[in-house]
Structures are given as C-alpha cells and as structure tokens.
A and B are shown apart, each in its own frame.
Chain A
C-alpha cells in the first residue's frame, strides 16, 4: 500500500503548495512532541527504561524462533488459534478464510498498521466483506478514501472543516458543522451500530507475550474493547517482531509507549487478551512479510525494535513539513524510511534522503533505534545499487574532487564569495533550490583566509 506520489520530493512539493497548512501541521506535531518531553521528564528512570527496553528487544530478536514457538504453544493452550503467514498475500488469505468459514459479512477493525501494510481491506472488499475502521482517525481517512498519514494520529493532516464535510456526506451531520465534540459524538453513534452488527472483529497487536500466550492492544477510544468483545470472532494480526518474552516486560513497554506517543502516562485502555470467551473464537496471525529478511541485515536489525509510538515522526523536521502522505510507504517518517528500503529498494529509494540526519528521531526513540545512522547507511546502499538521482551522484562526485584538491577548492570558494555578493538574480532564481524562500548568508572572508588568520 502506498500513496499516490512517485517519490518523497514529489509528495513534499505537493504538500508545500499550501504554506499555511504546512505551518499548521508542523505546529500540531511539535505540540505532541512537547507533551512527550513533559511526560518523560516526570520519570527519573526514563533513560534506564529505554536501555532496558532496547535490551529486551535485542534479546528477543536473538532468540526469535524460540519465543515464537513458545508463544504459539502457550496461546494454543489458552484456546487461541495460531496462524503463520510468510507474506502479505498469505496473511490476507488466512484472514479471508477464517471470515468465510464463519460466513462473515460485516467486520469491525481497530487500528492495525500491519493490515494496512498487507492491503487487507481491499482484499476483503473484493470478496464482498464490509470492513469498517473504527478508530476515529482511521474512519475519517477511510471515508475520505485515503490512507493514514501518521501511525498514531491517522488523520493529523485533516482540518476539522474537511472532517465536517465528510461526516455531512456519510453520517448526515449538519452541513458546515465543525465542532470536534459534535463530530466525534456523531461518529460514536454511527460506529456503535457497526459494533453491534459485526460478525467479526480484527485488531492489531502492540505486544504478544511468549510465556503467557496472550497479547495486549492499546487504545484511547475503547474500540478494541467494544469490537473484539462483542463480535463472535476476534482475529488479531501481528508482525513477528511484536513478541516479548515475559509479562513483566509489559511493565517496561507500557510505561514507554504512550508517553513517547502522545505524552500520556498510559493509554486509556490497555487490553489484555489471553483466552476467548466461552462460545467465541480468537485467532492470531503471525506475519513475516520481510521481517526475517530485515533480521538478517546486521546494520538494520535494530529497526525491528520498533513499538510504533510515532515519536520519530512528531519530532522530524522533514515529516512535520512534508506530511505523512509524501512518503511512499505505509509507515511514514523516519522509521518508515529505514523499514521500507529493505522491502523495495528502488520504489522507496527517495525515503532515506528525506532527512536532515539531525538525529532527533534516535534521541526520542523509546527502544533506542539508531534511526539516523540507518538512514545514512541506506543512502550508501541506494547510491551503490540504484540509479537514484543521477544529478546528485554527479554533483557529489564533483564536490568530492574539489574538496580533495586544495588549489581548486580555494579558487571555487573565492568565486563563490563573489557570487554571493553579486547580482541577486544569480542566487535567487528558480534553478537554485538553496535560494528559494531564504536569504543566504554573505561571508566576509573565505574559510581559508579565516583559518590562516586564526591559526597563527
């Protein structure tokens, strides 16, 4: 599943056509980042928790086969059906076959980036099964026929006026109504009917515990507790990296997750499922879809630590100013940009370049993924193995030559200085992207002159 743009620059350019919206989007996400900071500063052991979480993930990944088997055994003992899927197609087929077996027509789904990744909704729709996304943000993008632009805040790119229009069209709210409380209540009533009519519920998984054979799903809205508990069949879909060894590890991750995501101490509902209710069915689908391949890459293995909090998006200066739909992968932002090249190097070759490499993503990551280092490493591979941006390749080669030749470098820097002092049109024209919407500093001396003067 991907957005309509062929690469990140194209998507970013489209988003930036409306500077006011860019600034609004930027501020909305920075506000969430600031809430995150406040929440984490209240926990003296925060850094220690991050380190422990990273170690638990590293340990689990180094014994992933063992923990997956233990999880399967324990879950089956609890009466849960366990399925394995090598790729998206197998995942979709498994879910479809469970639904068909029960003659399901109406499905309620709570937020699951995995089912987005696998393109589950269109697959089920093709087989005449109606799927309703029940997370409010996801319902908004579903009605708008879009995809989530953020993994925690799926409709962060939408203005309330746009939501009002959508709801007027689909939920019969008053025309022109934009009040968030009014619109949310309308969605509540609309989705209550869906919950009560559903033949099956599909949810994601935040953490699956090997020793106890159960799983935890976190929401603020309560849609998981409504959907999964009312429907006769509950299917939970998870990537194999969501396994943690012990129940006590939930304490670590639940303390980190919501604080990193939205600045809340914990989500409103942290729902633990271990056994189906009598007379009902519970299924878990364990999905690989490229994860074992990522596990094989020494430089990128750590990306599988991700607990999908979205903190790296909220802090990223590029994400905030280009919007989630500018990325060519289901999961946008810095984490998506290190997960996606491993899936399709060519298709996602622009994503590792959608970064300033400032490292803020790595600093806020609750499981200590070295995101900016991995972005840099993907860049090396992309330039080696693909034909990404030949102009950049050529200019970098030339810069390399100039930097390696003192005489040439001196000459160029002198010419450059003259240029910056020269007629404005030479710098501030559409051909020079560095001069768009900003004033370049005019140096009073070259670096070489400065160095000679200050190093004596």
Chain B
C-alpha cells in the first residue's frame, strides 16, 4: 500500500460524522472612511505614502530615486529595465511595481507576481515602490478575495510594509530580507 492509500484509508476508516461548512459573511468596514483608514494603517506600518493626481509626478519621483542606484520597473512607460539576471536583481536599489488591490484594515496590497519579469522582484530590491490606483481599495480580506484570484497568477503576494523582523530581543528592525523601505504611490 502506498503512503497515500494508507493515509486516506486511515481517514476513511474513522467514518467521522460530517460537520457543516459555515457561510463566511463579508463583514462591515471599521469606520466611515475606507481611504483614510487605509492611509492611517500604512502610516503605522512605516510606509511612505504619496498621493498624486499628476501622472508625471511618478516619473519624476522615480527619476529622482534612480540617482541613488539601479531601478527596475514593471511599468514600461517609465522606461527602466525590466529584464534582469539574478545577480543584477541583487544590486537593485529600487523596484517599482504595480499593486492590484489595497486592503484598508491591514494595509496589505495585492501583487500579481507573474506580471513581473522575475517573481523575486517583490522582495529583492533594497527599496520597493508600489503604484496603486486610488479606487482600488477594499475594506477587509473577505472583500479582497472576492476580487483576488490567486490561482490566476502562479505566484501572488499581499505586501504590507517594508520587510521586518523582531527576532533579536523583540526590537523591530526594518529590512530583514526584503525591502528596507516601502513607498506606496497612490494615483488619483
């Protein structure tokens, strides 16, 4: 008998009484203003937030940051490299990627990993910038999963803030393995 058969037979043999699957409601928001809640959450997560109605502002901002070091961008209009080798990725100072959906309750932003040249670009650059349209914010995770279809992208990730750790005496340090800082550029 294979391990699979043994495991499944063990379970079947128990003939456990069936328990009902609960319905999961999409709960209410946590205040009257979803967007200000989202922005406040990002602030407590140590995220730099820029809100702009001007499309040129993003290009200008990225151009300024490009003076500090190599930039990757999944937004082709910005004109930065989007094909990279592993070693080049490790030298990136900034990755600019697009966010699909923001979640107000926890500040998490959904990233479609396969929209990027390499999946590791969600974590490997020293700094990360996520560009998110203002309208694409939901209240909570229940609502988020009515839009997000993780199976459609082979890899996707909710990112909420810069990479961090508190493994040394519970002292919070930003920049563990992933980005040392996160900038969220919200396009109105």
| Interface positions of A (Cβ within 8 A of B) | 28, 31-32, 42-45, 48, 51-52, 55-56, 58-59, 61-65, 68-69, 78, 84-86, 90, 134-137, 140, 153-156, 158-160, 163, 180-181, 183-185, 187-188, 191-192, 195-196, 209, 212-214, 216, 220-223, 225-226, 229-230, 240, 245, 247-252, 254-255, 262, 264-277, 286, 288, 292-293, 295-296
Contact = CB atoms under 8 A, between A and B. Distances in A.
Contact of B108 (A137, A225, A270, A273): A270
Contacts of A251: 24, 140-142, 144-145
Contacts of B114: 277
B19 interface: yes
B12 to A, nearest CB: 5
B159 A268 contact: yes
A275 B150 CA distance: 10
A135 B19 contact: no
A268 B140 contact: no
Contacts of B165: 136-137, 184, 220-221
Contacts of A275: 154-155
B123 interface: yes
B177 A134 contact: yes
Contacts of B158: 254, 266, 269-270
B177 to A, nearest CB: 4
Contact of A247 (B2, B22, B119, B150): B150
Contact of A272 (B3, B11, B20, B157): B157
B168 A180 contact: yes
A160 B19 contact: no
Contacts of B133: none
Contact of A229 (B8, B155, B168): B155
Interface residues of B, number: 72
Contact of B178 (A181, A185, A222): A222
Contacts of A195: 177
B56 interface: no
Find the residue from B21, B124, B154, B164 having the highest chain A CB count within 10 A: B154
Nearest 8 CB-CB pairings of A with B:
A222-B178, A275-B154, A265-B106, A221-B176, A137-B167, A229-B119, A180-B171, A229-B120
B153 A274 contact: yes
Interface of B: 2-4, 6-8, 10-12, 14, 16-22, 24, 27-28, 30, 41, 86-87, 90, 103, 105-108, 113-114, 118-120, 122-124, 140-142, 144-146, 149-151, 153-171, 173, 175-179
Given A78-B151, A220-B165, A266-B106, 7 more contacts: A65-B11, A140-B167, A184-B176, A222-B178, A240-B7, A247-B149, A269-B178
Given A221-B178, A248-B142, A62 B155 contact: no
7 contacts: A43-B30, A84-B7, A188-B175, A222-B179, A249-B24, A268-B162, A272-B156
A226 B123 contact: yes
A399 B160 CA distance: 56
Contacts of B169: 28, 158-160, 163, 180
B179 to A, nearest CB: 7
Contact of B176 (A43, A220, A230, A274): A220
Contacts of B171: 160, 180-181
Contacts of B90: 192, 196
A31 B163 contact: no
A13 B177 CA distance: 37
A69 B140 CA distance: 31
Given A254-B141, A270-B108, A272-B157, A226 B21 contact: no
Contacts of B159: 268-269
Contacts of A181: 171, 173
A266 B108 contact: yes
Contact of B124 (A226, A248, A262): A226
Given A250-B145, A277-B119, A42 B151 contact: no
A56 B145 contact: no
Contacts of A154: 167
A221 B164 contact: yes
Contacts of B164: 220-221, 268
A55 B168 contact: no
